[in-house]
C-alpha cells in the first residue's frame, strides 16, 4: 500500500528538523507503521540511532512486535510482562527498535529498572542511557491520559524528554483538547499534524499542519453507518445480535459492554444458541487471549469488556456497545468496516440505560445520528467525530501536580540512595503507573510449584488488588517467582492473614508482602474454578 499523504508529511517535517510531533490521524490511517519509516530516517540522520515505541497495553505490544519483526534493517525487541515467541525481550531497551509498555518505560526512565524493582541495588543508568540516545514514540496516547497516575507520569515524561532534546512523537486518533494543551505546554515546539478539509500550516508558531488527503476521505466516506438504540437488558442485547446474524445476514458482530458480569451472561446466552463465539475480558489468561486472537476470523460474535480493544485486528459488520465515553466509542467504531478499500455498511447499536453511560453523549447521538466516525471534520451533512471530543462527552482528565514534581526530583538527582528510592516506591504502592496490581495464576497450587515458568506466565492474568474480592472463592494460595539471570526461584507463601488481606484489597498486606519477599505477589486460584465464578 502506498504511503499516505500525512505520513509523508511527518517524514518531511522530521527531515527538516521538526522532531517534536503530535500525529492526530483517524483510526485505520496507518499511524503505527510510521515507526518503520522514522527508524530508517533516524538511522540516516542521527545522532539517535534507535527507537523506543511506547504503548499502553501488553496486547498491542505483542501485535506490533510481530508486525515489525523482520521489517526493519535492525533488531526488533520488546519489553512487557508477556512472552512473545521468536522475538527478543530487552528489559534494558538494548535493541534498534524496542516496543514496550508505559509501565516498563516509566520505571526504566525514573530510576526503577523494570527487572530490578524490588532489588536493593538498581542499575538505573543502563536503561536511562538507552532512552537518552533514542527517539521515543508514544502510541495510542489517549489511553496514557485515562487515569490520574498514568497521565501524570506520561506528561512528566514528555516534558523531560523534550528538554533532553530527544526526537519525540505522540500519536492517536483521539487526543482531547485539554491533553493537547498540556502537551504543547510541556514541549513548546510541538507541531501537530492532523487531517483536515483544506491543507494549511501554522508551523511558524510551532503548532499545526493540516493535511488534505482526498483519497483516504473518499474511501472512508463510502462506508455508511446506521445508528440505533436498545435498552440495557441482556435479553435485548442477545436478541439484537441474533437478529443481525440470522435475519439481516451479517457475518460478524462485536459486542463491547463495560461490565464483566453482563459480558459473561451475554456470552453464555449466545453460546447456548449455537453461535461460534469468543469472549475477552480482563480476567482471561494470556494463553486464553492468544487462542482467541488466533481464532478471531472464525467467530460470528466476539463479546467482551474494554479489554477487547487491544490487538483485535479484524473487521466486524456491527457493533453493540455501551457509550460510556466518546473517545472509547470512536476507537470501537474503528473495528467496524475496518477495511477502507471495501464498500461497507456498518450497523451501530448503542445500549442505553447502562449506569456508567455518558448521558450527554447518549442524548447528543439521539439527536445527531449522522456522525463521520472515520473523519474528524464535518463533510456533506455528516458531523466529524472531532465534535464528540468536547469535554462534556469524555471523562475528565485529572493530573497530580505534586506527583509530577516528585518525578521531576527523582529524575534530576544524579544519585539517590536506595532507602529513599524504596520509600518513594512504597508510597506509590510499588508502581509508578498503576494502582496496586497482582498476578493471578489459574492452574492451582500443585501446578504453580511444578510447571514451567513460561506456562505460569501464560496461565495468569494481571488484576487490580481491589478486584480480588469477586474471585475470592477460587483463591487457593499465595506465592512469588524471582528470575535472576537464568535461574528461577519460586515459593508458596503459607500465610492465611496475608491471603485474607489480599482478598480484601488491603494495601498494607500488599506492602508488607513486597517488603518481606522482594517480589511481586502471585495469587493462586484453584484449577477450573474461575470460569464457574464469573
Instruction: Report how far residue 170's alpha carbon sits from residue 264's, in angstroms, rounded to the nearest whole number.
Output: 35
pLDDT per residue rounded down to tens, the chain (534 residues): 578 999 999 999 999 999 999 999 998 888 877 889 999 998 888 888 899 999 998 888 988 998 899 888 889 999 998 778 789 999 999 999 999 999 999 999 999 999 999 988 899 999 999 999 999 999 999 999 888 999 999 999 999 999 999 999 999 999 988 899 999 999 999 999 999 988 766 544 458 899 999 999 999 999 999 999 999 999 999 999 999 999 999 999 999 999 999 999 999 999 999 999 999 999 999 999 989 988 888 999 999 998 887 667 789 999 999 999 999 999 999 899 988 888 899 999 999 999 999 999 999 999 999 999 999 999 988 999 999 998 888 888 889 999 999 999 999 999 999 999 999 999 999 999 998 999 999 999 999 999 999 999 999 999 999 999 999 999 999 999 998 777 899 999 999 999 999 999 999 999 999 999 999 999 999 999 998 777
Q: Which residues are CB-contacts of 205 (< 8 A; sequence separation ≥ 6)?
A: none
Q: Which residues are CB-contacts of 301 (< 8 A; sequence separation ≥ 6)?
A: 241, 245, 252, 253, 254, 255, 270, 275, 276, 277, 278
Model's pTM, two decimal places?
0.93
3-state secondary structure 362-404: HHHHHHCCCEECCCCCCECCEEEHHHHHCHHHCCCCCCCHHHH
DSSP code for 230:
E
Cα of 54 vs its chain's centroid, Å:
10
Instruction: Report how far residue 413's alpha carbon sits from residue 187's, in angstroms, rounded to the nearest whole number.
Output: 21
By the 10 Å C-beta count (0-12 exposed, 13-18 middle, 19+ buried), 526 is classed as: middle
Among candidates 117, 175, 168, which has minimal Cα distance to 483? 117
> 255 near 350, Cβ under 8 Å?
no
Give the CATH class of 5-212. alpha beta
Residue 204 pLDDT = 45
Domain locations along the chain: 5-212, 218-393, 435-533
> 321 near 257, Cβ under 8 Å?
yes
Residue 436's Cβ-side half-sphere holds a number of Cα atoms within 13 Å equal to 24
Distance linking the first and last C-alpha atoms of the chain: 43
Residue 310 pLDDT = 63
Q: List residues bridging with 420 in a β-sheet.
A: none
| Count of all residues that appear for the chain in the document | 534
Q: Which residues are CB-contacts of 183 (< 8 A; sequence separation ≥ 6)?
A: 22, 155, 158, 170, 175, 190
487-492: strand order across its sheet: 460-464, 437-441, 522-525, 475-484, 487-492
Instruction: Report how far residue 30's alpha carbon sits from residue 25's, in angstroms, rounded to the nearest whole number.
Output: 9
Fold assignment, 218-393: Rossmann fold (3.40.50)
> 353 near 329, Cβ under 8 Å?
no
Residue 1 pLDDT = 58
Instruction: Report how far residue 265's alpha carbon sits from residue 252's, in angstroms, rounded to the nearest whole number.
Output: 19
Q: Could you please report the per-residue DSSP string of 341-359?
A: TS-EEEEEEEEET-TTS-H
Q: Residue-wise over 62-89: b if at least 16 C-beta within 10 A, else e?
A: bbbbbebbeebeeebbbbbbbbbeebee
Residue 293 pLDDT = 86
By the 10 Å C-beta count (0-12 exposed, 13-18 middle, 19+ buried), 531 is classed as: exposed
Q: Is the backbone of residue 223 left (phi > 0), alpha (psi -120 to 50) or beta?
A: beta
pLDDT tens column, 330-360: 999 989 998 888 889 999 999 999 999 999 9
Instruction: Report how far residue 377's alpha carbon sits from residue 194's, in angstroms, rounded to the nearest whole number.
Output: 11
Among candidates 319, 356, 376, 338, which has minimal Cα distance to 195? 376
Instruction: Report how far residue 298's alpha carbon sits from residue 292's, in angstroms, rounded to the nearest whole number.
Output: 10
Q: Residue-wise over 380-414: b if at least 16 C-beta within 10 A, else e?
A: eebbbbbbbbeeebbbebebeeebbebbeebbeee
Q: Which residues are CB-contacts of 450 (< 8 A; sequence separation ≥ 6)?
A: none
Amino acid at each position: 500500500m502506498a504511503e499516505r499523504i500525512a505520513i509523508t508529511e511527518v517524514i518531511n517535517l522530521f527531515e527538516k528538523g521538526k522532531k517534536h510531533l503530535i500525529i492526530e490521524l483517524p483510526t485505520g490511517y496507518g499511524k503505527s507503521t510510521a515507526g518503520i519509516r522514522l527508524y530508517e530516517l533516524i538511522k540516516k540522520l542521527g545522532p539517535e540511532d534507535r527507537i523506543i515505541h511506547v504503548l499502553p497495553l501488553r496486547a498491542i505490544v505483542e501485535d506490533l512486535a510481530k508486525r515489525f519483526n523482520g521489517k526493519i534493517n535492525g533488531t526488533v525487541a520488546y519489553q512487557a510482562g508477556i512472552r512473545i515467541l521468536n522475538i527478543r525481550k530487552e528489559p534494558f531497551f538494548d535493541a534498534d527498535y524496542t516496543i514496550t509498555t508505559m509501565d516498563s518505560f516509566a520505571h526504566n526512565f525514573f530510576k526503577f529498572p523494570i527487572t530490578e524493582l524490588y532489588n536493593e541495588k538498581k542499575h538505573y543508568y543502563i536503561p536511562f542511557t538507552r532512552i537518552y540516545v533514542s527517539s521515543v514514540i508514544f502510541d495510542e496516547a489517549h489511553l496514557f491520559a485515562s487515569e490520574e497516575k498514568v497521565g501524570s507520569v506520561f506528561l512528566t515524561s514528555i516534558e523531560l524528554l523534550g528538554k533532553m532534546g530527544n526526537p519525540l512523537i505522540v500519536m492517536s486518533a483521539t487526543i482531547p483538547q485539554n491533553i493537547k494543551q498540556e502537551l504543547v505546554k510541556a514541549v513548546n515546539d510541538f507541531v501537530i499534524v492532523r487531517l483536515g478539509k483544506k491543507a494549511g500550516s501554522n508551523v511558524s508558531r510551532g503548532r499545526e499542519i493540516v493535511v488534505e488527503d482526498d483519497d483516504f476521505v473518499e474511501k472512508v466516506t463510502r462506508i455508511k453507518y446506521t445508528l440505533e438504540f436498545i435498552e440495557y437488558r441482556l435479553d435485548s442485547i442477545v436478541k439484537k445480535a441474533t437478529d443481525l446474524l440470522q435475519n439481516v445476514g451479517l457475518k460478524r458482530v462485536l459486542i463491547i459492554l463495560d461490565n464483566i458480569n453482563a459480558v459473561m451472561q451475554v456470552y453464555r446466552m449466545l453460546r447456548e444458541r449455537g453461535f461460534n463465539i469468543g469472549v475477552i475480558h480482563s480476567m482471561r489468561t494470556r494463553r486464553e487471549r492468544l487462542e482467541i486472537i488466533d481464532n478471531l476470523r472464525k467467530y460470528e460474535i466476539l463479546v467482551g469488556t474494554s479489554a477487547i480493544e487491544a490487538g483485535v485486528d479484524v473487521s466486524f459488520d456491527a457493533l453493540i456497545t455501551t457509550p460510556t465515553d466518546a473517545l472509547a466509542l470512536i476507537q470501537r467504531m474503528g473495528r467496524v468496516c475496518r477495511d477502507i478499500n471495501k464498500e461497507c455498511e456498518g450497523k451501530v447499536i448503542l445500549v442505553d440505560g447502562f449506569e456508567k453511560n455518558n448521558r450527554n453523549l447518549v442524548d447528543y447521538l439521539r439527536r445527531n445520528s449522522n456522525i463521520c466516525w472515520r473523519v474528524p471534520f464535518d463533510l456533506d451533512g455528516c458531523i466529524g467525530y472531532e465534535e464528540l471530543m468536547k469535554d462534556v462527552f469524555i471523562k475528565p482528565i485529572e493530573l497530580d501536580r505534586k506527583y509530577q514534581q516528585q518525578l521531576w526530583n527523582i529524575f534530576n538527582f544524579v544519585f539517590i540512595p536506595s532507602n529513599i528510592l524504596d520509600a518513594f516506591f512504597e508510597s506509590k504502592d510499588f508502581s509508578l503507573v498503576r494502582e496496586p496490581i497482582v498476578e493471578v495464576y489459574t492452574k492451582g497450587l500443585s501446578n504453580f510449584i511444578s510447571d514451567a515458568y513460561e506456562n505460569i506466565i501464560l496461565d495468569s492474568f494481571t488484576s487490580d488488588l481491589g478486584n480480588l474480592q469477586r474471585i475470592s472463592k477460587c483463591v487457593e494460595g499465595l506465592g512469588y517467582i524471582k528470575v535472576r539471570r537464568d535461574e528461577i526461584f519460586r515459593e508458596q507463601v503459607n500465610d492465611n492473614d496475608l491471603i485474607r488481606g489480599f482478598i480484601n484489597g488491603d494495601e498494607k498486606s500488599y506492602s508488607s508482602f513486597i517488603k518481606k519477599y522482594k517480589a511481586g505477589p502471585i495469587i493462586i486460584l484453584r484449577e477450573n474454578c474461575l470460569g464457574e465464578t464469573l
